[in-house]
Amino acid sequence: MPMKKWMLGLATAMLAAPAWSQDSVGEAAGGEGAPPVPRPAVMAPLAVRSTLLDVARAGDRLVAVGTRGHILLSADGRDWQQVASPVGRMLTRVRFTGAQRGWAVGHDAAILRTQDGGATWTLQHFDGRRGKPLYDINFTDERNGFAVGSYGQYYVTTDGGDTWNAAAFPFTELGMHLNAIVRLNDGSLLIAGERGVAAHSTDGGRSWRQLQTPYSGSFFGALPLGERGAVIYGMRGNIYRVADLAACPAVNPAELEEWDLRETVPDPAKVAAMGWRHLDNPVKESLFGGAWLSDREAVLVGVNGVIRRVDAASGQVAAVPSPADEILSTAMIFRGRLLGVGRRGVQDLGEIR
């Protein structure tokens, strides 16, 4: 099924920034020779129905982010209230490290922090000159964090997010979009990105190994699995299960160019030799986000409102009836119901039995 033009701009898909996301409320001139100054987001009565890219739990509260810098809060998943945002640029990800402390990232390398559960936000980093979006953020502890994004952007903080500095990522020269940075259950880190990029760190991000992967399309996200594994998903509905990322073979740095030109490996034996297993998903809509339903079952969502239920133990992928017909960027379980966010804002997707 053809992908809609809107998907090309979906920040979760990490492909490109569409014209409609570069709105006029984004920044103001800071004077001749000075960097652009971000303008705050406009308070919009219908923000809950605008394009939203991510949603996270902050204690008993939900926080969603999306186009034009919109940030929305809800106590029950039904009624949402917009709060002030210091930037009017699209926000692509929101994560919380506790009930009160959270982070959001977005276009123009914007990094926002909240210390009161999402009620108020401060801008910690912004680069309006380059205009490149960040796609994800994560922390290994209270002081050390990472933000990743388009064209290999890789920012590091060592002071709890007070300051962020661009750092040399071993694979930045590839110029690939880094779409997700996920903390696995053993504390190690996984970066997943464009054209089959997958990198693993077991020392808190000080060093990285680029892993051999069987897919040359984009990975859009991952969910931690077991102690050292993950379910990794992305373009054209591809879903992979990896039991132990630390045991996967790495790409030889001398062969990076050849690796980048590789084709998808169709031979199951070769896929297995890499430590990966491809899960059969007959429908080819791209998958952008999801959540665990239990310690073995996950739900993934994507293009045209598709919902897929994944049994990580058996490897089976099943279709779930969806009331949505527009792109869903991610979903989560809240009070027994599946909530999704995407092109039409927040949607109640019903119970998952």
What pTM was computed for the model?
0.90
pLDDT tens for each residue of 50-85: 999 999 999 999 999 999 999 999 999 999 999 999
* pLDDT of amino acid 61: 96
pLDDT of 11 higher than 70: no
Partners of 91 in the β-ladder? 106
* pLDDT of amino acid 283: 86
pLDDT tens for each residue of 241-290: 999 999 999 998 777 777 777 777 778 888 999 999 999 998 899 999 99
d(CA 54, CA 104): 9
Please answer whether residues 267 and 225 qualify as being in contact, where contact means their C-beta atoms are separated by less than 8 angstroms: no
d(CA 345, CA 150): 24
Given this structure, which CATH class describes domain 291-353? mainly beta
pLDDT tens for each residue of 297-338: 999 999 999 999 999 999 999 999 999 999 999 999 999 999
- Please indicate whether residue 6 or residue 108 has the higher confidence score (pLDDT): 108
pLDDT of 12 higher than 50: no
> Residues with Cβ < 8 Å from 104, sequence gap 6 or more?
65, 71, 91, 93, 94, 95, 110, 111, 112, 114, 121, 137
Average model confidence (pLDDT) across the chain = 89
CATH number of 11-290: 2.130.10.10
d(CA 188, CA 140): 8
pLDDT tens for each residue of 118-151: 999 999 999 988 779 999 999 999 999 999 999 9
Please answer whether residues 109 and 153 qualify as being in contact, where contact means their C-beta atoms are separated by less than 8 angstroms: yes
C-alpha distances in Å from residue 289, one per residue of 232, 233, 235, 332, 350: 10, 8, 11, 9, 17
C-alpha distances in Å from residue 277, one per residue of 86, 236, 266: 43, 16, 11
* pLDDT of amino acid 211: 95
* Domain ranges, ordered by start, for the chain: 11-290, 291-353
- Alpha carbon 26 to its chain centroid, in Å, reads 22
Q: Which two tokens stand for residue 165?
A: 């500095």
* 298 sits in which H/E element: strand 297-302
* pLDDT of amino acid 267: 83
